[in-house]
């Protein structure tokens, strides 16, 4: 019971303290990959701690009641008996806690899963539609050109995944810039960034009150862009990528969202691309992020082991 509470508390602490600390460390985007790892590790760690806590409570309930009797009486009866407190207060609270956990886990799971499936279905549909309606370039099989004046370039997951460029975007980019844009989008596809984005977004949809997931989704979306920028800059130069960003960010770019302006960091990306030092500089924040990634991933397991050891030693002392 104590262990489950500790693990839950750990999850709570990470969920509360994680976002401001991680946001500060990953803000400058020196190494976006590390930032993505840190946010993912935090999310994984929190979700993992909940699952672990659930498992521990379940194990507690399992241990506290008589196994053979349970088989005879059936599950419902045993739960009923446990609720009356005959197996002790631990089992009683355990059953209630378990029920609450299972119920909320179920609700969250359904929200998370349906969000994932919807994103997948709609993305594949969009990819299909782009392939039917777009014009294929002979030289680049994975790219389709849409006949539209707006300046837009993006990629969308599907079978196969598709890179979409509008006629307006083609007109605005020179050859080198177009290559840089395509390299950027290909880096998204090669790095499976859409998976990261979709999963983090689904977590944010399932738990919209937790900043770890809402801020995390926004940060991951921002950081994967920088990641792809770096890949493109590596091959075509930061100047070219920045030039492409500026060329597509003109007046006929995407309109600002209706509900409040979300900063997607276009300015930041341009500044970053024009100043290679900002990309390469090794900073204290990077080290902090690296340490936090390791701690987040190893922490819960290590804590559990230490607590179990402690408990065993206490038993021996008694």
Partner 1 sequence: MAVRGFGELEAVVMARLWAGGGTATVREVFEQLRVEREIAYTTVQSTMDNLFRKGWVVRERAGRAYRYQTTASRAEYHAGLMRDALGGGDDSAAVLTHFVGQMSEEESVRLRELLDGRTDRGPR
Binding site for partner 1 (CB under 8 A): 115, 118-119, 121-133, 146-148, 150-160, 164, 166, 181, 184-185, 188, 193-194, 197-198, 201, 224-225, 228, 239, 244-246, 248-249, 253-257, 261-267, 270-271, 274
Report residue 29 as tokens: 């985007």
Name the minimum Å distance from CB 259 to partner 1: 11
Backbone angles phi, psi at 87, to 5 degrees: -90, 10
Angle at 18 between CA 15 and CA 22, to 5 degrees: 150
Q: Report the nearest approach of partner 1 to the CB of residue 148 (Å).
A: 5
Return the DSSP state at 47. H
Q: Which is nearer to partner 1, 96 or 249 (CB)?
A: 249
The Cβ of residue 213 has, within 10 Å, a number of other Cβ atoms equal to: 25
Angle between helices 32-64 and 89-133 (to 10 degrees): 140
If the CB atoms of residues 81 and 163 are measured against partner 1, the closer one turns out to be 163
| CB nearer partner 1, residue 65 or residue 186 | 186
CB-based contact 29:80 (threshold 8 Å): no
Taking the complex as a whole, how short is the minimal distance between the CB of residue 29 and partner 1, in angstroms? 15
Give min distance, CB of 295 to partner 1, in A: 30
- Closer to partner 1 by Cβ: residue 133 or 309: 133
C-beta of 194: minimal distance to partner 1 in Å? 5
Burial class (CB in 10 A: 0-12, 13-18, 19+), 299: middle
Tell which residue, 193, 8, 195, has the closest CA to residue 203.
Answer: 195
In the complex with partner 1, which residue's Cβ is closer, 79 or 119? 119
54 vs 238, which CB is nearer to partner 1? 238
Question: C-beta of 280: minimal distance to partner 1 in Å?
Answer: 19
Residue 65's CB is within 10 A of a number of other CB atoms, namely 19
């Amino acid at each position: 019971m104590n262990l489950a509470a500790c693990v839950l508390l750990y999850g709570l602490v990470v969920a509360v303290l994680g976002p401001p600390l991680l946001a500060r460390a990953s803000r400058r985007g020196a190494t976006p990959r590390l930032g993505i790892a840190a946010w993912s590790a935090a999310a994984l760690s929190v979700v993992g701690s909940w699952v672990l806590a659930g498992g521990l409570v379940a194990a507690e309930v399992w241990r506290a009641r008589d196994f053979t009797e349970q088989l005879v009486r059936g599950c419902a009866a045993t739960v009923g008996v446990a609720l009356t407190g005959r197996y002790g207060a631990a089992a009683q609270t355990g059953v209630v806690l378990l029920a609450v956990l299972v119920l909320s886990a179920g609700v969250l799971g359904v929200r998370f899963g349906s969000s994932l499936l919807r994103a997948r279905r709609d993305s594949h549909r969009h990819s299909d539609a782009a392939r039917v309606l777009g014009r294929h370039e002979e030289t680049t099989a994975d790219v389709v050109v849409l006949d539209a004046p707006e300046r837009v370039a993006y990629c969308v997951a599907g079978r196969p995944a598709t890179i979409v460029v509008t006629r307006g975007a083609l007109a605005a980019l020179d050859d080198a810039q177009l290559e840089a844009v395509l390299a950027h989008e290909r880096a998204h596809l090669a790095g499976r960034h859409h998976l990261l984005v979709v999963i983090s977004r689904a977590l944010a949809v399932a738990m919209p009150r937790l900043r770890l997931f809402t801020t995390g989704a926004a940060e991951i979306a921002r950081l994967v862009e920088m990641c792809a920028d770096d890949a493109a800059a590596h091959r075509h130069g930061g100047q070219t990528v920045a030039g492409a960003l500026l060329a597509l960010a003109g007046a006929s770019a995407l309109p600002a969202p209706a509900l409040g302006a979300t900063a997607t960091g276009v300015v930041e990306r341009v500044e970053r691309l024009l100043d290679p030092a900002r990309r390469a500089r090794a900073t204290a924040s990077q080290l902090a992020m690296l340490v936090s990634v390791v701690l987040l991933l190893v922490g819960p397991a290590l804590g559990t082991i230490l607590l179990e050891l402690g408990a065993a030693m206490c038993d021996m002392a008694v």
